[in-house]
Each structure stands twice: as structure tokens, then as C-alpha cells.
Amino acid sequence: MSKTLSHVSIVVPDLEAAIETMRTVHGLTSGPIAENKQQGVRLAYIDLGNSKIELMQPLNPDSPVGRFLAKNPRGGMHHVCFGVDEVAAETDGLKQKGLRVLGDGKPAYNVHGQQIAFVHPADFFGALLELEQKSADPAAVSGIHHGS
């Protein structure tokens, strides 16, 4: 079992403006914009080689990310994400150690069809922690729209 830093996620009020700033100020090119209706976000990744920055904008104000933006209107750091071999095994192990895993227990997926889960910030030094399975399940990608 090895872990990697998959990405750091930042919520932004205007995804296109953030992508443009990343390009013009930092010289970093974003991948395509995708939508994840299950998570209530539109997002883009900036690949840094050994990890990524995830830029997220809420699709609606009632989503968890929408509520985060309401509290932080200029945006802000949202979560860090570990890449793990198996999300289910990892969350089972963390639950046995008393950590709180968020959600209704049903598997959740990112826009690449990789299974994901979130650990309560109170159980990870005050920061929201995402776990992302390194391998993707292509069947889980259906229902997720690529492009804007």
C-alpha cells in the first residue's frame, strides 16, 4: 500500500478566470473543464507532473462546495487528496481507527471514474481529506460531462 499526493483542491468563484490566471501569471495550462453532477461541481485540473491542482466551482449554491463558496466568497483551499490503492480498504481501515468518513456509504467517483471518499476535517488536522483510487473504473464515468 503506497500513497501519493494526487492533488490540492481550490474552490474559485469563476473557473474560467482562475484558469486564465494560472496560464498568464503562473504559466500553467489547465486540462479540459469537466462537470461532476454527483459532487455538484465543475472543475479543471492543472497537471504538475507529480501532482495536480484541482480548481472547482460549484454548480449550485446548495452543494457542499456551494456552501463553502458562500462562506469564502473569494474562494479558498478546500481539500488535499491522497492517491490510494483501494478506497474501500482504506476507508474501512480508517473507520476502524475511529475516523469519520463522509457520505451515505455509496461509492462516489470523480470525473475520471476513480472511486473517491472524504474524511472529516476534524479527523485530519482540520483539513478535509479526499482519498482517490489510483485505478479508474471506466463504467463509472457515464453521467459525467467533459467539456464546458
Site mask, Co ion, residues 42-81, x = CB under 5 A? ------------x--------------------------x
Nearest to 135 by CA among 110, 101, 102, 100: 110
Q: What letter does residue 2 receive in the DSSP assignment?
A: -
Give catalytic status of residue 130 as yes or no: yes
Site mask, Co ion, residues 81-100, x = CB under 5 A? x-------------------
Cβ atoms of 129 and 118 closer than 8 Å: yes
Cβ atoms of 63 and 73 closer than 8 Å: no
Which CB, 54 or 90, lies closer to Co ion? 54
Enter the C-alpha cell of residue 27: 504559466
- Is there binding between residue 9 and Co ion (CB under 5 A)? yes
- Is there binding between residue 35 and Co ion (CB under 5 A)? no
Hey, what amino acid is at 109? Y
Q: Which residues are catalytic?
A: 130
